[in-house]
Structure 1
Amino acid sequence: MFNFNIRVYGILRDSNNRVLVSDEFIRGEYYTKFPGGGLEFGEGTRDCLAREFMEETGLAVTIGDHIYTTDIFQLSAFNKEHQIISIYYFVHAAEPVALETKTKIFDFLPEQVADKTAQCEVFRWIEWDDLTVETVSLPLDKIVVNILKDKPGDIPHDNTMLVRSFQ
C-alpha cells in the first residue's frame, strides 16, 4: 500500500554564521541532513519540529518562517511505497543551550557504526560560505540549500546559542 511520509526540518543559523546539520548513520549508509523528523498523528508541523529538535538536540526552539514544502514527487530512500512530503522552517534557539557538536563529517565512534542495522546521529556546524548542495545528502535538502543561497540576506541569525565543538 502506498503512503505519504510527512517530514519537518529546521534551519538553525548561529551568530557565527554557521548552519546546524545532522550527520546520520542509517541502515549502513551515511547521510548529512538538516535536523528534524517525522510528523506524528495529531501534531501540527511546527509542534513536530519543536519536538524533534528537543528529542534530537536537547534544544528548545521557536519555529520561524516557512521556507519550503515539497512540490515534486520524492520517493522515500527507505521504503519504496512511501512518498515523502517535507516541510522546512527557520528555527531559533529559545534559550542559550550548550550543544555537543563535531567538526569532522561522520565523526562517529566505531561502536556506533559497527551494527549495520543501527541508527545514530551527531551534529556539526557548517560555515555559511561552505554550505552547498554537495554538503547535504537528501534531494529535498539540496533544493532548500539552493533556496537559502538565493536569498542569504533573508536568513536570520540566532544570537542565543552557545556551542561546544569537539574534535
Structure 2
Amino acid sequence: MKTLQMERLTRAAFAPFGEVIELDGARHFPINGGTTERYHDLARVDVGEQGGRPLVNLFRAQPRSLPVEIGMMERHPLGSQAFLPLAGASYLIVVAPAGEFDPAQMRAFWTEGWQGVNYAKGVWHHPLLALERVSDFVVVDRGGEQPNCDELALVEPWRLVR
C-alpha cells in the first residue's frame, strides 16, 4: 500500500488548492460601535457558474481512527466548497490539484481544530476525515440544477502517515 505523509496545514502549503480559513493573519477591524471584531474576506466563495447559488449546510462527520486509508477522491467542478469546523477537533485533509487526477500530486494535511478550508473549484479532495469525536462543520458550497460532484475510485488505497 502506498503512503502519503501528512503535513501541518498552513496558508502557504494549501495555496495551490484554495484558502485556509483562520483568524491568524486575517484582515480585521472593529464594527458595531466597537463591540465586535470583523475578520474580513477569509475565503473566495466561487459558486456562480451556470446559475449556481450559495448553500449553507451543516455536515456531521463521524470520527476516524489512525491510521486512515483512503480509496476515493471527489471534486466539485462548478464551485468552491468551504468547511468551517465547529467542534474544535483536529481533522485531516487530502487534496490533489484541479484537472486530470494525478495521485502523485496528492497532499495530506492535519489541521488544528479551529482551521477551516475552502477548496477551490475543481480541486480533488477526500470527504471529511474527522478525528477524536463526532464533528460538525458549516459547509458553504454550490446549489443549482447541474451535477457538481465527480467521484473517483483510486486504483489502490493510500495510507496516511504522520
TM-score (norm 2): 0.26
TM-score (norm 1): 0.26
Q: Which has the larger radius of gyration?
A: 2
RCO greater where, 1 or 2, for CA within 8 Å and sep 6 or more? 2
